[in-house]
Structure 1
Amino acid sequence: MEDELVQMQEAGSAAGRRGRGERGGASARRAARTSGQRVQLSYIRRARPPYEVLDEEGLALIEKNADTVLEEIGIEFRDDAEALALWKEAGADVQGERVHFPKGLCRELLKTAPSTFTQHARNPERSVEIGGNATVFAPVYGPPFVRDLDHQRRYATIEDFRNFVKLAYMAPSIHHSGGTVCEPVDIPVNKRHLDMVFSHMRYSDKPFMGSVTAPERAEDTVAMCRILFGDQFVDENTVVINLINANSPMVFDETMLGAAKVYARANQATIITPFILAGAMSPVTVAGTLTQVLAEVLAGAAFTQLVRPGAPVVFGTFASSISMQSGAPTFGTPEPSLVSYGAGQLARRLGLPFRTGGSLTASKVADAQAAYESANTLNSTLLAGTNFVLHSAGWLEGGLVSCFEKFMMDIDQLGMQQRISEPLDLSENGQALDAIREVGPGSHYLGCAHTQANFQTAFYRSNIADNNSFEQWQAEGGKTARQRANEIARQWLASYEAPGLDRGIEEGLQDFIAKKKESMPDAFT
């Protein structure tokens, strides 16, 4: 067996030398891997059906139980008189801030929600479809801390925020610029949303997310979108998507409701997402968690249709478990994957796009734990048929940290997911009968014409992994994956070039931001 491995390695090395040259070829390959000038990939169009864990009987049972929760227990809509009035007018039983829903009311309201929609980017080539068989990867969202390229864990700044936006813009397998890629704490709380939204608009031409931390900040996002895209285009199209979290269990607060109303009225998309740590914010069982998730999404998503029928809305879920010994969140474990699979089925039954998953981990650094947990989460995310994937790259420490090194490592994994989602090549070239004929029994394929014609594109090439011999790895510095990721991030940022933006539009955005900031004193709480 050892002799066979040695022969295989020697033959592979020889083929590489023949096809690409000796040391010069290796240098060229390293340069190609680390260069920021890479061909952008379109959003994924999945070629295979999603994985399903519930049969018809199981789905019907979860739906029946969710209807029971909505009717008997109800959902609280806190500190929002308008929301309560809308529900009462729609026929719900409103008791204080608790809303009880007649069976079928929410599903009836959701008939006006689109099953798919396009989120337009300022570069039309970067627009994405959300729904159907499409999968869109977006970066990490929300951490107050970063782990920077000097290995410091510290509070995030606006410079960190811009750098993450730049990396996401340059990453071929990231289709979306995301939202709060980290929380820039060096800017006042009541003003930082302006700089964050502007950063997405200026340093990337991919689609992006808006602010939801206050209704007026959502209004600012829509106003800035009107400057960027034009009033009429915003009125007629979806240009921003926004995360609306339920305060599980079974509560929507005035902040989330206020932002949801702003975006729905402007015909912009919302992702209604129960934030679940099972065992603390939902039952410990998969079926119980799915029941609560469905009830919360039905109520929140239907509310957007009360505000404006036809407004785009996404069935979201963020499901994790907790350690029953410490209470700490855990990631990459089996049960949240089962929740994702089931929730995806329920979303498709409702005819809504689906959001879940990402590259999640509780690890404190980009180590083996981070890799295993992120891979487990990401694989189940794609298998679940997820349409919008938040936290695809950069998540660390249970969502407290955005990590530059892990961002680059995750990007590499996203590229693999992109490749595995493609249909199998059954063309004449894909069938490779000419290669089989040429080689015949007892030889090898390394030097045949088919291999020579296809070797550059035949297999996915990681820009992080090292597959060379021990001697070559050692000669090149014996670097770990984290070290290679660090180097690539630095090289990408050094070579970054901003996408063009009309000068008048940029000045209009800057003027809007300056006036908004001047209109209010700084607030850090």
Structure 2
Amino acid sequence: MNAQIIEIDRHPAPVKRRGRAQRAMDRANVTPLRFHTRAIPAYHLLGEVALTALEDQADWILEHVGMEFRGDDVALDLFAQAGAKVEGQRVRFERGLARQLCATAPEQFALHARDPLNTVTLGGDHIVLMPGYGSPFVSDLDRGRRYATLEDFENFVKLAYMSPHLHHSGGTVCEPTDVPVIKRHLDMVSAHLTLSTKPFMGGVTSPQRARDSIDMARIVFGSDFVANNAVMQGNINVNSPMVFDDTMSGALRVYAEANQCVCVSPAIFGGAMGPVTPAAMAAQTLAEAMVGIALTQLVRPGCPVVFGSFHSTMNLRTGALTFGMPEANLVTMALSQLGRRLGVPVRSGGGQITSSNAPDGQAMQDSTNAMWATMLSGCHQVWHAAGWLEGGLTMSYEKFIMDLENCGAFLRLFQSMIVNDETLSRDSYLEAGPGQNFLSTAHTMRHFAAANYESLLPDAGPYETWKDNGSKTAAQRANGRWKEMLASYVQPPMEQATQQALAEFVAQRKASMHDEWY
């Protein structure tokens, strides 16, 4: 008998007949968040011999090539005290030392949300999905491609909050380019804290911006709670190959000192930041990530971490990045195995990523290919699960909705199949009999409301109905859907004193800054 998967629905809807209009209204409002653990086991791509070879290669890289920490004497001193060989800015590790330094990182931990019902677990069999990250542009079918604004950023935070298929608010979902760089982290973190109650990511583009993010979290969660619990994440990108600059390592240390989650994410494009072969990409990613994770543990043993990655293949004839390709998908699956062996939660390098410039067939083919590998790999956190276009340069409103559709279907699939007396439903056969339909049986009436995954997109209907309604493509139907969602958004409540303290902090920090845009 297969194990049953528990899907926590905090506010289950009553089972009753509802018309299409009512169902559309229900979907337009905030849907109860469902927490998902995988029932389908992670796919083990590689055996022991291959995994050991990749780990040996990572050790070889760290022993013979090493990592550079540029401009961060504190990090260099910490590694020297831990037994690494430091020469100038280069740090080399004897075989096994980096892995040993990672040993105090937790294998699983809670990432707390403003609404405790939205707190998630990273590690184990848990799956946490979040939207895209870092796009300077946005697009929609009405206004086309344009630079993202703070309004766009807030819109995507609202959409992520409203979706039951995203468990995390994300970070820099898109860059609000109408706000100076030195100030925009304040607006972004404020939006995450006030417009959503899901977990989120803070600023990392300077150590001070990381401190501001943590101070804002302390206002909302309380200093004592933040001191003892992870309430936010910082995305620390390695400047692959094998370099940490002082911005990233400095922000890493700020988050680690505050006991907040650090996601260490090497970014390797095969042929540019590393060799072209999947095995080399996987081993180099492991090497770079271990060093970042080791630094978090030297700063604060037990600091929660995530082993991240962002990797892609390239068209070596043109230099263009490609996404959803089999070689990158193989790396995704190998890294999840390596992360589990390291004993830390894993952030996938995949998600619903594409090089397509429009929410079209190529976009969904690339995205679905990458998402299959991501979900099968057994990773714990999936970035870029919604909205990504144009190699990450653009967040698309329509693709966000189309990706949510896939997210919901994947999450439902990975609950696997429940086999028991109720799901086998012998009473239905006795009630309906040969040649009769099962639409009105007692079993169907008990389960019809939740039996099948229900699409987020308006039903296209048969060809004639679809044609009469304007022959709308999936992207066009998604255009109407995101507008419906934003129109029905209701901001989650926050205590007035907390909201005022947060606003005053943002105002004071902005007033202390010059008006430069850097």
TM-score, with structure 1 as normaliser: 0.93
1:7 corresponds to which residue?
Answer: none
The aligned residue for residue 10 of structure 2 is none
Q: Secondary structure at the match of 2:312?
A: strand
Is 2:399 aligned against 1:414?
no
2:36 aligned with 1:41: no
C-alpha RMSD over aligned residues:
1.6
Q: What is aligned with 1:377?
A: 370
Cα distance per residue 1:386-421 (max 9 Å; x no partner): 111111111110000011111111111111111112
Could you tell me which residue of structure 1 aligns to residue 425 of structure 2?
Answer: 432
Match of 2:475 in 1: 482
Q: Which runs of no fewer than 5 residues in structure 1 stay unpaired?
A: 1-18
The one-letter amino acid of 1:307's match is V
Q: Is the 8 A contact 1:43 1:137 kept in 2?
A: no
8 Å contact 2:236–2:262 — kept in the other structure? yes
Question: Alignment partner of 2:34: what SS?
Answer: coil
Q: Secondary structure at the match of 2:266?
A: strand
Q: Which runs of structure 2 are paired with 1:276-291 in the superposition (5 Å)?
A: 276-291=268-283
- Cα deviation digits, residues 1-50 of structure 1 (max 9, x gap): xxxxxxxxxxxxxxxxxx969xxx44444444xx4224222332111210
Aligned counterparts, 1:56-95, within 5 A: 56-95=48-87
Q: Output aligned runs, 1:70-149, within 5 Å.
A: 70-148=62-140
Contact 1:144-1:156 within 8 A present in 2 as well:
yes
Match of 1:168, as an amino acid? A
Task: Please say if residues 243 and 271 of structure 1, whose CA atoms lie closer than 8 Å, have aligned partners that are also in contact.
Answer: yes
The residue number in structure 1 matching 2:6 is none
8 Å contact 2:256–2:299 — kept in the other structure? yes
- 1:467, distance to aligned residue in structure 2 (A): 5.4
Matched, 1:365 2:323: no
Q: What is the Cα deviation at residue 500 of structure 1?
A: 0.2
1:455 corresponds in structure 2 to 448
Task: Indicate if the aligned counterparts of 1:316 and 1:355 stay in contact, CA closer than 8 A.
Answer: yes
Residue 399 (structure 1) aligned to one of 385, 392, 398: 392
Shift of 1:434: 2.0
Q: Deviations over 1:216-263 (max 9, x none)?
A: 000101111111111100101001111101111111111100000000
Give the whole-Å Cα distance in 2 for the aligned partners of 1:102 and 1:67. 8
Summarize deviations over 1:281-312 as a string: whole Å, max 9, x none.
12111111111011111111111111111101
Instruction: Measure the CA separation in 2 of the matches of 1:38 and 1:31.
Output: 10
Whether contact under 8 Å (1:40, 1:173) holds in the other structure is: no
Match of 1:492 in 2: 485
Name the structure 1 match of 2:291: 299
1:275 paired to 2:267? yes
Partner Cα distance (2:307, 2:263) in 1? 6
Of 287, 311, 335, 2:327 maps to 335
Instruction: Give the letter aligned to residue 369 of structure 2.
Output: N
Contact 2:140 2:479 in 1 (8 A): no
Over residues 70-103 of structure 1, what are the superposed CA-to-partner deviations in whole Å (9 max), with x where a residue is unaligned? 1111111111111111111111111111111011
Name the count of aligned residue pairs.
502
* Contact 2:30–2:161 (CA under 8 A) maintained in structure 1: no
Q: CA deviation at 1:151?
A: 3.5
Secondary structure of 2:182's counterpart equals: coil
Partner residue of 1:390 out of 380, 383, 390: 383
Task: Tell me the CA shift for residue 325 of structure 1.
Answer: 1.3
Aligned partners of 2:67 and 2:242 also within 8 Å: yes
Q: 1:26 to 1:238 in 2, by over 3 A?
A: closer
Percentage identity across paired residues of the two chains:
49
> Where does residue 508 of structure 1 map in the other structure?
501
Structure 1 Cα separation of the partners of residues 181 and 25 of structure 2: 41
Partners of 1:519 and 1:149 in 2: CA distance? 39
- How many Å separate the matches in 2 of 1:215 and 1:467? 49
Give the residue type in structure 1 aligned to 2:491.
A
Q: Who is 1:263 aligned against? A: 255
Q: Are the equivalent residues in 1 in contact too, given 2:227–2:259 (CA < 8 A)?
A: yes
Deviation at 1:148, TM superposition (A): 3.2
Q: What SS is found at the alignment partner of 1:39? A: coil
Query: One-letter code of the match for 2:379?
Result: T
Q: State the alpha-carbon separation in 1 of the partners of residues 418 and 101 from structure 2.
A: 42
The alignment partner of 1:43 has SS state of strand
Q: Which moved more, 1:275-284 or 1:457-466?
A: 457-466
In structure 2, distance between residues paired with 1:467 and 1:429 = 32
Once residues 136 and 443 of structure 2 are traced to their aligned partners in structure 1, the CA distance between those partners, rounded to angstroms, is 51
Deviation at 1:475, TM superposition (A): 2.9
- Which runs of 5 or more residues in structure 2 are unaligned? 1-15
Contact 2:131/2:387, CA 8 A, preserved across alignment: yes
The question of 1:180 aligning with 2:172 is answered yes
User: 1:55: how far off?
Assistant: 0.2
